[in-house]
Structure 1
Amino acid sequence: MLKKIILLFSIAVAFIACQDIENSEKPENLIPEEKMVDIITEISLLQSARNFSKRIYESTGIKGQEYVFEKYNIDSIQFKRSNDYYADNYETYQRIYDSVKEGFERMKVKLDTLQKQEKHIEDSIAQAKKDSLKKVADSLDPELERELEGVSDSLIEEKDSLNITPIDSLPTPMSRN
């Protein structure tokens, strides 16, 4: 019986102790929500880059959180206190993370658009190369070559008959007019 009472007493104490969770106080230097969205977004991007290729990430020499803290002129304690405060306020924290998610979705749309544009440009270049190669191949047609030879010979003969030297073909300088 004594064991049951001790067990019930322990459960009651644990239950009461868990009910008295204190929320974090609002820090004096609380990071505004908009700035928190930017900070969390940037930290997430840097962590993703590190997870994607740790070797390449480390070769850049960027220290993820240190870089972000310096960029936004905050320190790790200020970030932790602000993050804890927002985490205790579920609606606000949810709003921050929804904004981060929306920001990533906008980035994805921009990147997809840029990739489509780049693909279009690459396809256009490939088509232009293909067209120019086709023209070269067409110009190698023996009959067409013979026709072009006759035209170019007649143009050379015409030029020679005019007796124009390269200097004569230059425009008159403005100072002589």
Structure 2
Amino acid sequence: MGKTITFILILTLFISCKEELVQKPDRLVEKDVMVNVMVDLSILEAIKYQNPASLDTFKINPRDFIYKKYKIDSLQFAKSNVYYASDYEDYKLMFEQIVKRLDAKKKSADSLVNLEKKKKNPILSKKKKSTLPTRDTTKLD
């Protein structure tokens, strides 16, 4: 009798672990769109903290801007985020995609900044040549 109860408890435990922890929301944001939203939010939040005046000048709330851009609302985003976060491995892959895209955008921005610096200071981009006269030491006087 004890073995049967133990077996049923273990079986119940395995079956319950396979259930979804979070039910799929009615208006789930697609995974690709969710990645785009998170990339854009990351960029706008970084701008907000690096140069808050730039967003304040235009009275832009980063989250509201993104919600309008992707035609979603905050509740839809929050429920979709919780749903995707309930699957750790899949959520981790999403964040890897986000990091890769942010790194690519950072490299692109860095190259544009370097290009602008070269345009403003062409002297710095070229190697400075020595202005001292050189003396040929192979000839004997």
TM-score (ref. length: structure 1)? 0.54
In terms of Rg, which structure is larger? Answer: 1
Q: Which amino acid aligns with 1:75?
A: D
Q: Aligned residue for 1:49?
A: 47
Q: Aligned residue for 1:98?
A: 96
Conserved 8 A contact 2:118-2:124: no
In 1, Cα distance between the equivalents of 2:69 and 2:123? 40
Q: Aligned residue for 2:65?
A: 67
Compared with structure 1, are the counterparts of its residues 30 and 66 closer, same or farther at alpha carbon in structure 2 (3 Å cutoff)? same
Bigger helix share: 1
Show CA shifts across 1:12-66 (max 9, x none): xxxxxxxx9x711011221111111110111111211221233442222112111
Conserved 8 A contact 2:67-2:74: yes
Identical counterparts, % of pairs? 28
Q: Aligned residue for 2:128?
A: none
Q: Aligned residue for 2:26?
A: 28
Show CA shifts across 1:84-117 (max 9, x none): 0011011111111111111110011111221232
**1:2-151 → structure 2 map (5 Å cutoff):** 23-124=21-122
Structure 1 residue ranges without an equivalent (≥5) = 1-19, 128-177
Question: Larger relative CO (CA 8 A, sep 6+): 1 or 2?
Answer: 2
In 1, Cα distance between the equivalents of 2:46 and 2:91? 21
In 1, Cα distance between the equivalents of 2:51 and 2:117? 25
The size of the alignment, in residue pairs, is 109
List structure 1 runs of 4+ shifted beyond 3 angstroms.
Answer: 123-127
In 2, Cα distance between the equivalents of 1:85 and 1:58? 33
In 1, Cα distance between the equivalents of 2:54 and 2:111? 26
